[in-house]
Amino acid sequence: MNPQFSQFMLPEALVRGLEKAGFETPTPVQAQVIPLAQDGLDLLVSAATGSGKTAAFLLPIMQRLLSVRAPRSATRALILVPTRELARQIYIHFMRLASLTRLTAAVIIGGERHDRQLAALRRNPEILVATPGRLLESIQSGAADLRDLEVLVLDEADRMLDLGFAEDVLAIIGHTNPARQSLLFSATLHHRGLAAITDQLLRDPRVLVINPVREGHPDIAHQVILSDDTEHKQAQLLWLLQNEPAEKVLVFTNTRERAIALGPLLVGQGQRSVVLHGELDQRERNRVMGLVHGGQVRILIATDVAARGLDIPGVQLVVNFELARSGDDYLHRTGRTGRAGEKGLAIALVGPKEWNLMESIERYLGLEFQARAIPGLKAAFSGPGKRKGPRKSASKSRAAPAADKPRVKERERDRKAIGKRRQPTTTGEAGLAPLRKKQ
Ligand code: AMP
């Protein structure tokens, strides 16, 4: 039988909050985490972006805070996150679910006015959602007090470590009530630095691997389009934006410079786009995300760091203008589409230098990218060691696509190792074929 929210015996105000949010049935992570968290256990959870993990920790926390009143307590629950955007999204999630309760929360993050956050802390909200640096400052200045803490959540712990927050996180744990319950969420449990945190944080934890990052997302189609160079990629991206019906599109680049360069280029072609990168100040980031959420722009061009933790409803297409540097990053990027059961499409534009990376991502994730070719914009490049001519001939072949020829070179080693490849078809939108058949 499918799990139901009713089996968690949540207070009426939360049941109605769920209804208002439109959540009808629990996601797998919610079905598994909520009852164990309600039992007060420490949890170590591997759950991918978009799995519904926010409500999985918010609901038991809120239930606990509602059922036991503690007006004299300082902060009762802390949710520690790697990025400001994620903090804000969790706060919004909280506001939706808690709208019919008396519970309050505050966001303590860098880049925003200190005096406002101090004022929010003085009102002594039950829940804090915070990034490590600013929270630690607030603890050290005496503005935040975690000695009564009942629940500590570390969300996206692997990202937290990637961003260099390990020391701050350990320091914060040291300031909390040792009797607290702790829940740690991470896309992967194989992160090198994780043990140092879990040792300090968790007592006899239950380990839940709900959505192993390598399992991917069943509702996302993964496609690859071969490209010759950046200029070629730009033409292909434009074609996709003009021809794919996606409500919202997320375009990933590997560098800030590339993201900044793409913005005006797309706007110049009539594509409503904005750029989000790590160097924007908080006001700019808020403005950019406001435009995306408000629907004034359809396309968000982002770097990995800037996009961490983003939850943008309606992203039906993710384009990797440059391929993600690792399989985990690839899944983080593509997990922005196909959220909460919707269908999503992820397209990677892969140049000659990215071929090997593409293969290793495929192997690592056990994914089968479908090869796709855009009519009139087919690459001269068609696999390692094979080029149909000098790079500048690519534009010629773009204008007048060559007749069908084998696109993907088969190498003896590859045939042995990973099975037979099939050539991509040239029939355009419908022209999909697996790059290779897995053994
Ligand atoms: P999260 O992984 O918590 O960021 O959630 C991903 C998306 O799924 C968010 O847009 C949530 O609003 C949505 N969501 C979470 N839980 C549910 C649910 N039980 N039913 C439908 N949508 C959900």
pLDDT, the chain, mean: 84
Q: Is 54 in the pocket of ligand 1 (CB under 6 A)?
A: yes
Q: Phi and psi dihedrals of 240, rounded to 5? A: -60, -45
pLDDT at 422 over 50: no
Q: What is the pLDDT of residue 372?
A: 94
Q: What is the pLDDT of residue 341?
A: 60
Quick one: 165 and 242 in the same domain? no
Q: Residue 272 CA to chain centroid, in angstroms? A: 22
Alpha-carbon distance 8 to 35, whole Å?
A: 7
- Residue whose CA lies nearest to ligand 1 atom number 16: 52
- Residue whose CA lies nearest to ligand 1 atom number 6: 50
* Domain termination site, one of 355, 372, 389: 372
Q: Is 339 in the pocket of ligand 1 (CB under 6 A)?
A: yes
- Residue whose CA lies nearest to ligand 1 atom number 21: 23
- Residue whose CA lies nearest to ligand 1 atom number 18: 23
Quick one: 114 and 252 in the same domain? no
Higher-confidence residue of 187 and 324: namely 324
pLDDT at 201 over 90: yes
Q: Phi and psi dihedrals of 253, rounded to 5? A: -120, 165
Quick one: 190 and 286 in the same domain? no
Q: Is 60 in the pocket of ligand 1 (CB under 6 A)?
A: no
What would the mean pLDDT of 416-425 be, rounded to a whole number? 32
Whether residue 86 lies inside any domain: the answer is yes
Q: What is the pTM of this model?
A: 0.61
- Stated as kind and residue range, the H or E segment containing 345 is strand 344-350
Q: Is 51 in the pocket of ligand 1 (CB under 6 A)?
A: yes
Residue 102, judged by CB atoms within 10 A of its CB (0-12, 13-18, 19+), counts as exposed
What would the mean pLDDT of 416-437 be, rounded to a whole number? 35
Q: What is the pLDDT of residue 18?
A: 96
Under the banding of pLDDT at 50, 70 and 90, the label for residue 404 is: very low
Among candidate residues 318, 313, 365, the one with its CA nearest the CA of residue 339: 313
- Residue whose CA lies nearest to ligand 1 atom number 4: 50
DSSP state of 281: -
Q: What is the pLDDT of residue 331?
A: 83
Could you tell which of 54, 92, 96 is best to mutate to test the pocket of ligand 1, judged by most ligand atoms within 8 Å of the CB?
Answer: 54
* Domain termination site, one of 210, 234, 268: 210
Quick one: 172 and 198 in the same domain? yes
Whether residue 321 lies inside any domain: the answer is yes
pLDDT at 405 over 60: no
Q: What is the pLDDT of residue 340?
A: 61
Q: Six-digit token pair at 278?
A: 């790590």
Under the banding of pLDDT at 50, 70 and 90, the label for residue 434 is: very low
Whether residue 439 lies inside any domain: the answer is no
* Domain termination site, one of 372, 390, 420: 372
Whether residue 387 lies inside any domain: the answer is no
Q: Residue 82 is which amino acid?
A: P
Q: Between β-strands 220-226 and 248-253, what pairing exists: parallel, antiparallel or unpaired?
A: unpaired
pLDDT at 408 over 50: no
Number of domains in the chain: 2
* Gap from CA of 60 to ligand 1 centroid (Å): 15
What would the mean pLDDT of 383-408 be, rounded to a whole number? 39
Quick one: 38 and 154 in the same domain? yes
Q: Is 337 in the pocket of ligand 1 (CB under 6 A)?
A: no
Whether residue 341 lies inside any domain: the answer is yes
Among candidate residues 340, 294, 241, the one with its CA nearest the CA of residue 27: 340
Higher-confidence residue of 340 and 185: namely 185
Quick one: 205 and 227 in the same domain? no
Quick one: 241 and 346 in the same domain? yes
Q: Is 125 in the pocket of ligand 1 (CB under 6 A)?
A: no
Q: Which domain holds residue 204?
A: 12-210
> For the packed helices 282-293 and 84-97, what is the interaxial angle rounded to 10 degrees?
50
Quick one: 236 and 154 in the same domain? no
pLDDT at 54 over 60: yes
Q: Is 227 in the pocket of ligand 1 (CB under 6 A)?
A: no
What would the mean pLDDT of 131-159 be, rounded to a whole number? 96
Quick one: 260 and 331 in the same domain? yes
Q: Is 17 in the pocket of ligand 1 (CB under 6 A)?
A: no
Q: Is 19 in the pocket of ligand 1 (CB under 6 A)?
A: no
Residue percentage of the chain with pLDDT more than 90:
61
Whether residue 423 lies inside any domain: the answer is no
Whether residue 292 lies inside any domain: the answer is yes
Residue 334: which CATH number? 3.40.50.300
Q: What is the pLDDT of residue 48?
A: 74
Quick one: 91 and 239 in the same domain? no
Least confident span in 77-86, 132-141, 189-198, 421-430: 421-430
Whether 408 contacts 382, CB under 8 Å: yes
Q: Is 52 in the pocket of ligand 1 (CB under 6 A)?
A: yes
Which residues are registered as beta bridge partners of 348?
Answer: 224, 320
Quick one: 227 and 79 in the same domain? no
* Gap from CA of 52 to ligand 1 centroid (Å): 4
Tens-digit pLDDT profile for residues 5-28: 999 999 999 999 999 999 999 988
Q: Is 82 in the pocket of ligand 1 (CB under 6 A)?
A: no
Whether residue 308 lies inside any domain: the answer is yes
Quick one: 24 and 140 in the same domain? yes
What would the mean pLDDT of 124-135 be, rounded to a whole number? 97
Q: What is the pLDDT of residue 213?
A: 47
Under the banding of pLDDT at 50, 70 and 90, the label for residue 389 is: very low
Under the banding of pLDDT at 50, 70 and 90, the label for residue 211 is: low
Q: Is 26 in the pocket of ligand 1 (CB under 6 A)?
A: yes
Under the banding of pLDDT at 50, 70 and 90, the label for residue 2 is: low
- Residue whose CA lies nearest to ligand 1 atom number 5: 52
Q: What is the DSSP string of 100-147?
A: TS---EEEE-TTS-HHHHHHHHHT--SEEEE-HHHHHHHHHTTS---T
Q: What is the pLDDT of residue 337?
A: 81
Which residues are registered as beta bridge partners of 344?
Answer: 220
Tens-digit pLDDT profile for residues 330-351: 888 887 787 666 678 999 999 9
Higher-confidence residue of 147 and 425: namely 147
Q: Which atom of ligand 1 is nearest to the CA of 49?
A: 2
Q: What is the pLDDT of residue 278?
A: 82
Q: Which atom of ligand 1 is nearest to the CA of 93?
A: 12
Q: What is the pLDDT of residue 112?
A: 82
Q: What is the pLDDT of residue 339?
A: 65
Q: What is the pLDDT of residue 60?
A: 98
Q: Which atom of ligand 1 is nearest to the CA of 5?
A: 19
